[in-house]
Homo-oligomer: A and B are copies of this chain.
Amino acid sequence: MSVINLDHISYKPMLPEVKAAMIDAIDKDYFNPASQHKSGEMAAEILQSCREDVARFLNAANPKEIVFTSGGTESVNHAIKGVALANAKKGKHIVISNIEHNAVIRSVKRLKSMGYKVTSIEVDESGRVNPQDVANAITDETILVSIMHSNNETGTILPIEEIAKITRERKVLFHTDAVDSVGVVPIDVQALGVDLLSFAANSFHGPPGVGGLYVRRGTRIFPILDGGVQEHNKRAGTENLIGIIGMGAAAKVALEKLPTWYEHCLRIQNKLVADLPKVIDEYIINTNPEHSLPNMLSVSVRYIEGESVMLMLDDDDIAVSTRSACATGSLRASHVLISIGLSHADAQGTLVLSFGKDTTEEDIDQFMSSLKNVVTTLRDISPLYRKRAAS
């Protein structure tokens, strides 16, 4: 049974090169890179070469600016809490947007309970932050601005370069959660002008549970995992070398293939937008048409529950999501969709369609045919839909 994966935002299949590199690493069973004998040194060299591959992919000025972590969530926690604790003497004010991932929202919530103050900037209806609002929010107490590069539920890309100009001028550190952008759109940390950038290997077809944090040289930050001297004293703990080797392999391939992946995703996205009106009506596209990732489309199908659509599509072997996988289990409407002005009912009817380099036009055709049946079936039994049809 083969499943059509229209839930790439939750999981992207690993590249053959990634699988091969990891299997080779398992076979070779490298030593602890922190050990000082030859076996340790060999492992340390491999770790360094992965660091160089990732640094090149993100155009970091120096491989030392890449800190390997256990994934996007750790990177975000490290950036926010690490900067907050290290710069507490300067001030205790942090600026975020109101559409951040829970890793950001809950990290600043934790800091709030420790006396920090947080300003959450509202996005406009297109889902973007106005850089001027960031400028206005910064005070003498502000030590960090954290605004995501792209939103994981709508795919909207935010004006990071413009915000970075402001934070540099105001001498405030700037972190961007780029977990859903890295591997999808070109990311150049120097061109962006950010001080910290979080990423996860699976976003560029690497393994799950491994990622990194770009930390511009000279950025004042504490570790959040204290202990040994690994990662240039920025992140203690024996490395997940097998995962890091997978991430390094993914970075090498992504650096070369990203433009092709991008074009392919854009074609699929355009096809989705073009085909949807042929199979359903009364829906809202939440993805910003101008500034968005090419690999996703957020669609609110009115009068029905996204959850029911997802489950029925699942019966047809089509995987989609209704929101961030990290938030499943939560029954509340998405804070992101409410923030861009959706009603609770429409937010509950939302499907996040996310795809990748291997998604075919046939996959989309099959999805459309399935979606048509599912929506018809669900609307037939929807009191909301009948009420609306009767009015």
Residues of A within 8 A of B (CB): 3, 5, 7, 10-11, 13-14, 19, 22-23, 26-27, 29, 31-32, 34-40, 69-74, 76-77, 85, 101-103, 106-107, 109-110, 114, 200, 202, 207-210, 222, 224-230, 236-244, 310-311, 313-314, 317, 319-322, 324-330
A210 to B238, CA, bound (A): 9
State which of B13, B202, B242 has its C-beta within 8 Å of the C-beta of A238: B202
Residues of B within 8 A of A29 (CB): 13-14, 19
User: Are A238 and B72 interface neighbours, CB within 8 A?
Assistant: yes
Contacts A106-B226, A226-B77, A227-B106 given; indicate if A35 touches B236 (C-beta within 8 A).
Answer: no
Distance of A230 Cα from B72 Cα, bound (Å): 13
Listed by A's residue number, 11 A-B pairs whose Cβ atoms lie within 8 Å are: A3-B39, A26-B26, A37-B319, A70-B237, A73-B225, A77-B225, A207-B240, A207-B242, A208-B240, A209-B238, A236-B326
The complex is assembled from copies of this chain, and their number is: 2
Which 8 interchain pairs have the tightest Cβ spacing? A209-B240, A228-B326, A73-B237, A103-B227, A106-B226, A70-B70, A34-B325, A11-B32
Q: A209 to chain B: closest CB distance in Å?
A: 3
* A107: chain B residues within 8 A (beta carbon): 226-227
Q: Tell me which residues across on chain B come within 8 A of A200, comparing CB atoms.
A: 238
